[in-house]
Chain A
């Protein structure tokens, strides 16, 4: 849908060049010859042992040590034309923050990150770096192994948080203008941070009772600890952002109501609603979940700690998760941590087409997740109480590439077989949340129920109303949502000052 990779804008090129030409950078570049830099091996992210971590919810990766971070930062060649920046949806000045780490100035590196990214501790954990910044890294072209930019981003921002010196940048005088952000997910939090730093009065309206959107209800603790999200949200609050939870824009108040209260600019980041199902028999049996429900119960509602927390979730002997994306990986690894003896990914294409991050697939394999590839469920079977007890599957072959460029799965007749399962999680995507579109007259919609925007500005068909993230894209990543948000925030700033 969108242009995900952009050429560097001329002003950005200039900015990068100015940093590149600073004396300390020149000296540091020369201090270690490129050949030397290339000889260092990529530092491996330390992880907790697979057989230990797959039974609890603590974080899998434990983070680079300062020594490792210094060594990894030294691998960066500090290129004159840093392609990595072009691969980043929010255009972080990657060479500058990496070189600050090499210099040992970890706090300065974190602040450099925060100039362009309000949520670096989160992005350092959940971005698919291998297809973004790291894919375009010169070291990848030269040696096959890119600089671990994501791990360094995580290192610098964790260092800042743990140091207790989360710095609030100097804020400009208040503009006197009010902006309303709808949805406290990655897009909304990003817009809120950017606009607050520009002096606007920002309120985020969130339907759930905690801020974070998919970061709180979707991404599990073992991949993104809630304490980190909380620290990032607290940082926004210290920038002056107000967060109204349990407020459903569209129902508690419409965009027009908020306009009457003096809000002038709006950002719709209400995310993915309406989980998709396959429309096959037995899908409404008890024990068949959407990934959204399954993960929300466990993450937001803390069902993993039932009955200390009141929300229950089914614990399975054999859990089947349908899908091959990050959400599927999160679901299957959650099921295993909740005690499943077998936790199985059922995916209709092959490993090569799986949209999940390489690291997640790799971690899942290490933890003992089974993969039944080129397989699709065709029917679920229930017991006398209506609980799912088995699923009938069919093997698939791969045909010609489809619109997504991936080879189309084709059912193989006569390959049906039945597998006993007592929990199924459908992680096959979702449609945009319908509430804002239903309650905002004049908002132009696309054919999948998504909000239509001008991709250059993220402006919707209504004046002053911008949108980004899954409500526009249908189902993308945290960082693409944040990229949309940065464009929208700059436009909203101009709109508020018009």
Chain B
């Protein structure tokens, strides 16, 4: 009897939670899709595959393509990771602009580079979205040629390309 009562109560509490969760998630601007993109072979992982359509067009999804751009020499690589990670190793010539310190750092960055400067952002590979956020922020302040190297530093390093 006690067990039946508990089961009934648990079903009620769980149902209320699930219903509330789905309603809030649907109405909230920060809500996420019911199924996310969590397969790293298909690209950067994200809870919100639908919301990222604009970002996906700017993606560079092979290390070789990033290397081609690197070899051309006119592209500026921008490292979205922390200063610490940048210090431990980065793509040669890359500039550090941690996405968490964007507001403090962007002014000196703007003074150094014109808006048409071709930029490639990167972070720690397909499990991190920082390079996407940084690309978005850079576009917002006027840079019109920003792309995202989604395999990031780990992908670059794994191919044996030079680091510094």
Q: Do A and B bind each other?
A: no
Chain B residues near A (Cβ < 8 Å): none
Chain A residues near B (Cβ < 8 Å): none
